[in-house]
A and B are shown apart, each in its own frame.
Chain A
Amino acid sequence: MATSMMTSGFPNTEMFSDEFSRPDWLKSEVETGTTIMAVQFDGGVVIGADSRTTTGAYIANRVTDKLTKVTDRIYCCRSGSAADTQAIADIVNYHLNFFEMDTGEEPKVKIAANIFRDLCYNYRDSLMAGIIVAGWDKTEGGQVFTVPLGGMLTRMPFATGGSGSTYIYGYVDSNFKEGMKKEECLKFVANGLSLAMSRDGSSGGVVRLACITKDGVERFVLTGKRNTAIL
């Protein structure tokens, strides 16, 4: 499926002729190895991600927040190159701020997803970004859109992405049910992420969850000690 991600490094600077003495952090780009997930339910969405960013085999940040806010009720889950996805999310945030000022109301999730798609498709040759856009708006309620590597845009009831997603296709396909409630969705996402993190070397750290509804955003962090800390 188009959402599968490999953590192979992006083509690198070939400035230095000596390969052996160049450290890892110069050779590879910073990747969000990743497992990301989003599920829609009646009243909102639940999104989740792991917290590991790698440069080659070194973990550059073990407590990354890959659930990035683009508006108050629209978040994106980032996977792929850290630099590319951070830059894209900043640009989309910029566009949506103007949109909100122009129209006077909060932008719809579909619009945010389309801006992501425009960037990811038009610059597809120079970007490596797999993004899941999810949020709540008052016309359609909770929505999940996926924008994988080539810049496709499609709405789905639930989406997974990142290198770790390949390990949980079986789990999500057999355990997803239509019409789940918020608590069931939280368990579904948390379980899926934990399973992926235990099998994928590029995913790990803590499980970050967020629940977006008309009342706002509730964030959770799940550590290995099975504690739920509300951020």
Chain B
Amino acid sequence: RNKLLEQKGIKAPTAYKTGTTICGVIYKDGVILGADTRATEDTIVADKNCSKIHYISSNIYCCGAGTAADTEMTTQMISSQLELHRLNTGRIPRVCTANRLLKQFLFRYHGYISAALVLGGVDSTGPHLYSVYPHGSTDKLPYVTMGSGSLAAMSVFEDGYKPDMEKEDAMRLVRNAIAAGIFNDLGSGSNVDLCVITKDKVEYLRPFDEANLKGQRQGSYRYKKGTTAVLKKEVKKIPIEVVKTQVRSEQAMDTA
């Protein structure tokens, strides 16, 4: 069927991408990750409110840009590997471990898995932030941005970043960086999600800022009753047959 459609000249739908602006910053007490919420299929918005900040472990979260399926599956895979590792070692997982798992996984696929990630978390050695590229290279930095809106977000960071920021300042900076991506990049839009990770807890703020609320309709376009004149009224009864069937299974549902 697909071949027939292609022959007719209809293009196959492309992979569902997260156009995206994602970023992360290290502040005084930990790490703040931010993301927009638009997922695109070419030029159409496929999901107006998708979640791009993925759970890796209780102290590590990961923002994903690129092909939505790739980022989702990759982060889930590494999350489960890390959980098994945690059970084996009996320790809270380190961010560098997640980084290694991601880079070795992506390198094996030579960039065909289109996942560009911002990995951040707090472990026993402190807060850490990594950017991971689809080919498997990583950079460890105090502030990173990724995605189509990364240039807009990076310009905000380069202007406003200071080491050891307070939580409120850092949250505002990340929000501004994502907003720059949302308003200046066509691949990013809708709301700003934030994730604040500290030694003791994680605040997953979704949405943090609803920058794009749908406008209110100014007037009603409905036609008033009576605009179309009624000429004739006819009431007919439709004969319906009601059939009752009882579904009864032989045994009770087996959940063993």
Contact = CB atoms under 8 A, between A and B. Distances in A.
A4 to B, nearest CB: 22
Interface string A63-75: 1100000000000
Contacts of A26: 66, 114, 116, 134
Interface in B129-162: 131, 133-139, 141, 146-148, 150-151
B209 interface: no
Nearest to A12: B111
Chain B interface SS verdict (over half): loop
Given A60-B133, A81-B135, A18 B111 contact: no
B141 A86 contact: no
A61 B110 contact: no
Interface string B99-113: 000011011001110
A21 interface: yes
B133 A25 contact: yes
A18 B141 CA distance: 32
Nearest to B134: A26
Contacts of B137: 30, 53, 81-83, 86
A18 B133 CA distance: 21
Nearest to A55: B133
Contacts of A55: 133
B133 A126 contact: no
A29 interface: yes
A98 interface: no
A109 to B, nearest CB: 25
A interface bracket (residues with beta carbon within 8 Å of B):
20 to 34
A17 interface: yes
Contacts of B138: 86
B169 interface: no
Interface string B206-246: 00000000000000000000000000000000000000000
Contacts of B46: none
Nearest to B66: A26
Interface string A46-64: 0000000101001011011
A62 to B, nearest CB: 9
Contacts of B141: 61, 63
Nearest to B138: A86
A87 interface: yes
19 contacts: A15-B114, A16-B14, A17-B11, A17-B14, A23-B148, A23-B187, A25-B146, A26-B134, A29-B133, A30-B137, A55-B133, A58-B150, A63-B141, A81-B135, A81-B137, A83-B107, A83-B135, A86-B137, A126-B110
